Amino acid sequence: MSDANLRRSWVTSANGHADFPLQNLPLGLFSPAGQAPRAGVAIGDEILDLDAAGRAGLLEGDALRAAQAATRDGLNALFALGAGPRRALREALLALLDADHSRAAELAGANLLHRQADCRLHLPARIGDYTDFYVGIHHAVNVGKLFRPDNPLLPNYKYVPIGYHGRASTVGLGDVDIRRPNGQTLKPGATEPGFGPSQRLDYELELGVWIGPGNAQGESIPIARARDHVAGFCLLNDWSARDLQAWEYQPLGPFLSKSFATTVSPWVVTPEALEPFRSAQPARPEGDPQPLPYLYDEGDQQAGALNIELEVLLLTEGMREAGLAPERLGLSNTLNMYWTVAQMVTHHSVNGCKLQPGDLLGSGTLSGPERSQFGSLLEITEGGKQPLTLANGETRSFLQDGDEIILRARCVREGHASIGFGECRGKVVAAG
């Protein structure tokens, strides 16, 4: 076998692929035209059918057990198996799809693959619960400045990974349009709220975290073992109606301003694929408190952060009609997370809260320190006060009907094949 970081696949479209080279192998749920959903793995422009590989005798042991656990209903049972079987499946697929495989020519004609363009992708797991965190410190500061100029970051932020429980029933893929929500808003100068479509619709650039093995109710997940409870990652857009949010969020936080829609990317990028892109957690600014003992683990501090480039683009109706490409609105990185994924998982469970396979966590908006790195229009336009002028002359304070938001992510490291997440897309349509 060739060096693992440089090995190539007999699936020729995988070699040099922007998102899905051999080194990635993300998991998902797909259906060929006219057929039932089944589990698969993205490889280049193709999808490897896990059920077909199992029936062909190409998988065995823990790898076969993992493939068989991935059913047409979702990847929950595979997530529940934990890292061992998932790693065994990955190693088996790395060998099976390698260009140096002794049966490469035979495998290429074995009806194991389906063209992604010919398939429909589905939500990869049944989501029992969805929790959105707030670990992007630059976003927290930027938003705080808009509402509390003298005290933008409340003192609990640097002690507690802040989060709120979202609505799992409205998490979906980009094949479902985002209908502009109706709700109550209090217009400037008004003393009573009105009702109607949100006028300040926004996106949020986030990392999604899929939970693997859970914990029993009343028990907590120790920080040193929290990574064992993560099944994989995706991109996540937490759509937000800022005018509804401003009226409702005190004293209990987001409700209808967030629950109408959350969009995720369809492929689950595994922790194993991201291993080369782990990083030390960025040092906290001088004077910041050290995490409390239950949130502190030296191993997590040394390798608990992820170096993932995050990009958000906008495609307006005007761009679409003119045949223009989407325009980048922001370019950030997961290194802007103040808390690690492990700290999020541990804190979520420390009170005995039961996490289950297929639960979804959002990171919160991951903005960088510069305007070009902001992950929401709320920040870019300073709450609508400074409209954004696009290259085609259009302006935006917040999203308009027909606007499509596209999230992308890339992992790049010298000496390693770069990998991506695929796209997370969502198009806004008029209120009902």
Residue 249 known to bind ligand: yes
Instruction: Count other Cβ atoms within 10 Å, centred on residue 61.
Output: 11
Angle at 30 between CA 165 and CA 426, to 5 degrees: 50
CA pseudo-torsion sign 286, 333, 372, 365: negative
Question: What pLDDT digit, counting tens, does each position of 347-364 carry?
Answer: 999 999 999 999 999 999
Place of tokens 């859970």: 214
pLDDT at 72: 83
Active site members: 139
Dmax over CA atoms of the chain, in Å, equals 75
Distances (CA, A) of 427 to 122, 158, 244, 401, 408: 17, 35, 20, 8, 15
Packing angle of the helix pair 83-97, 61-69 (nearest 10 deg): 100
Token duo for residue 396: 């935006």
pLDDT at 2: 44
158's CB contacts (< 8 A; 6+ apart) are 284, 288, 289, 338
- 241 bridge partner residues: 201
Alpha carbon distance 129, 218 (integer Å): 17
Decide: 136 and 363 in contact? Cβ < 8 Å.
Answer: yes
pLDDT at 1: 37
Which amino acid would we find at residue 63?
Answer: A
Residue 12 known to bind ligand: no
Residue 157 known to bind ligand: no
Residue 258 known to bind ligand: yes
pLDDT at 250: 84
Alpha carbon distance 402, 377 (integer Å): 16
Residue 275 known to bind ligand: no
Domains of the chain: 12-122 (2.30.30.230), 130-429 (3.90.850.10)
pLDDT per residue rounded down to tens, the chain (432 residues): 346 778 999 999 999 999 999 999 999 999 999 999 999 999 999 999 999 999 999 999 999 999 999 988 899 999 999 999 999 999 999 999 999 998 888 888 888 999 999 999 999 999 999 999 999 999 999 999 998 888 889 999 999 999 999 999 999 999 999 999 999 999 999 999 999 999 999 999 999 999 999 999 999 999 999 999 999 999 999 999 999 999 998 888 899 999 999 999 999 999 999 999 999 999 999 999 999 999 999 999 999 999 999 999 999 999 999 999 999 999 999 999 999 999 999 999 999 999 999 999 999 999 999 999 999 999 999 999 999 999 999 999 999 999 999 999 999 999 999 999 999 999 999 998
Place of tokens 């629950």: 259
Alpha carbon distance 320, 314 (integer Å): 10
Place of tokens 């804190």: 347
Decide: 166 and 261 in contact? Cβ < 8 Å.
Answer: no
Question: What pLDDT digit, counting tens, does each position of 277-301 carry?
Answer: 999 999 999 999 999 999 999 999 9
369's CB contacts (< 8 A; 6+ apart) are 138, 336
Q: Is 133 exposed, middle or buried (0-12, 13-18, 19+ CB in 10 A)?
A: buried
Instruction: Count other Cβ atoms within 10 Å, centred on residue 390.
Output: 16
